[in-house]
Amino acid sequence: MEKAYGNLPQFELKDELDSYIEEIKIQGFTVVEDVLSLDDLREIKEKALSIYQKLENEYGKEYLIEINELDMLRAPLVHDPIFLKLINHKKINELLLRIMEQNFSLHLQNAIINRPSTIHHQRSWHRDLPYQNYVTSKPFSISTLACIDDFTKDNGATELIPFSHNLEKMPSVEYCEKHMTTAIAKAGSLIVFNSLLIHRAGQNNSQNLRLGINHMFTAPILKQQISLPEALSGVYSDDQELRKILGYDYQVPCSDREWKEKHYRRKYVDKI
Ligand SMILES: O=C(O)CCC(=O)C(=O)O
C-alpha cells in the first residue's frame, strides 16, 4: 500500500492479469504481448489475405466499396481453423472471464487490411458497440485486436482515446488531437480494450499493408454479428470449450417448447 490519508481504498494486484485488468478498467485498454507465435502469424496472414482476395473477386471490388466492406474479412474462422488460435487462448480467456465477471461468447471476428495510401472504413472514430453512447460500471463487451504485423506509428497502428469508454459523448476535435494515443505493439500482441472505447485505424504511410484481426467477446445475452453456429453448420459443437465461445450454448430458442427443453436439459441432463 502507498502512503495515503483519508481512508483511500486502493486496487491490489494479485498477478499479471490483474495489471492488465486495472489498465482496461481505468484507461480503457492494455497491450498483452507474446500471445501468438511467429509461425502462427505467418500462416494467419497468408490465409487471411488469400481468403479475402477470393471473396473480393467473388463479390467485386465496386460492390465492397459501396457497402464499406473493402479490405474487411468477416469471420475468417468459418473458412479455416487456424483463426481459432485467436479466440481460444488460456490466458486471454481467463482475463476475459475475470474482467467481465460472467460467461462470454464471441460476437465477431474481423480481419482489417490497412493498406498504404487508402482510407479504410475503420479509419473513422467509433466504438465497437456503435450507437451505444452510455457508460457501464462493468464491461459487458471486450475487444481483442490481434496485431498480425508490427503496429507502428508509420503503418497505421490503432489510435485510441484513453478513458473514452467512460464518456457518453465524443470529446472535441481539439481534445482528441491532444490526448489520443497510438497503440504501438509488436506482432503477436493483443490490444485488449473495453468495446465502448473510442478508436480508429491509423493512417498507413508505409510501403506495406498492416493486418489486424479484431474480436468482440460479449455477454451472451447480446446477439452475434454473424451467427457462428449457423455459419459453421455445427462444426466444433462437440468441443466443450469452443462450443461456449462460439455461441452454440446461447442460441435463441425458436419456441416455448424449445425454451423449456433447454432449461430441463440444463437442470437434469447437462449436469450428469
Ligand atoms: O485496424 C485497426 O487498427 C482498428 C480496427 C477497428 O477499429 C475495429 O475493428 O473496430
Q: How far is the CA of 30 from the centre of ligand 1 (A)?
A: 15
Angle at 158 between CA 180 and CA 218, to 5 degrees: 100
Residue 213 Cβ contacting ligand 1 at under 6 Å: no
Q: What is the residue-level pLDDT of the chain in tens, covering all 272 positions?
A: 788 999 999 999 999 999 999 999 999 999 999 999 999 999 999 999 999 999 999 999 999 999 999 999 999 999 999 999 999 999 999 999 999 999 999 999 999 999 998 999 999 999 999 999 999 999 999 999 999 999 999 999 999 999 999 999 999 999 999 999 999 999 999 999 999 999 999 999 999 999 999 999 999 999 999 999 999 999 999 999 999 999 999 999 999 999 999 999 888 887 65
C-alpha cell at 148: 498480425
C-alpha cell at 83: 483463426
Predicted TM-score of the model (pTM): 0.96
Residue 128 Cβ contacting ligand 1 at under 6 Å: yes
Instruction: Look at residue 47 in the predicted model and tell me its pLDDT.
Output: 98
Task: Please give the mean pLDDT across all residues of the chain.
Answer: 96
Q: How far is the CA of 262 from the centre of ligand 1 (A)?
A: 36
Residue 30 Cβ contacting ligand 1 at under 6 Å: no
Residue 158 Cβ contacting ligand 1 at under 6 Å: yes
C-alpha cell at 125: 472514430
Residues 87-146 have pLDDT tens digits of: 999 999 999 999 999 999 999 999 999 999 899 999 999 999 999 999 999 999 999 999
C-alpha cell at 239: 468441443
Kindly compute the dihedral angle of the four CA atoms of residues 240, 139, 161, 213, in this order, to the nearest 10 degrees. 10
Instruction: Look at residue 266 in the predicted model and tell me its pLDDT.
Output: 84
Chain centroid to Cα 128, Å, comes to 8
Q: How far is the CA of 185 from the centre of ligand 1 (A)?
A: 14
Whose alpha carbon is nearest atom 4 of ligand 1? 201
Q: How far is the CA of 253 from the centre of ligand 1 (A)?
A: 32
Report the residue among 158, 192, 225 best suited for mutation to probe ligand 1: largest number of ligand atoms under 8 A from its CB. 158
Whose alpha carbon is nearest atom 10 of ligand 1? 128
Count Cβ atoms below 10 Å from residue 154 Cβ, excluding itself.
17
Whose alpha carbon is nearest atom 7 of ligand 1? 200
Nearest atom within ligand 1 for CA of residue 128: 10
Instruction: Look at residue 267 in the predicted model and tell me its pLDDT.
Output: 86
As a whole number of angstroms, the distance between CA 205 and CA 203 comes to 6
Whose alpha carbon is nearest atom 1 of ligand 1? 201
Instruction: Look at residue 190 in the predicted model and tell me its pLDDT.
Output: 98
Instruction: Look at residue 269 in the predicted model and tell me its pLDDT.
Output: 81
Name which of 52, 46, 76, 75 is nearest 64 in CA terms: 52
Whether the CA torsion 224, 51, 89, 24 is positive or negative: it is negative
Residue 149 Cβ contacting ligand 1 at under 6 Å: no
Residue 141 Cβ contacting ligand 1 at under 6 Å: no
Q: How far is the CA of 112 from the centre of ligand 1 (A)?
A: 7
Instruction: Look at residue 148 in the predicted model and tell me its pLDDT.
Output: 98
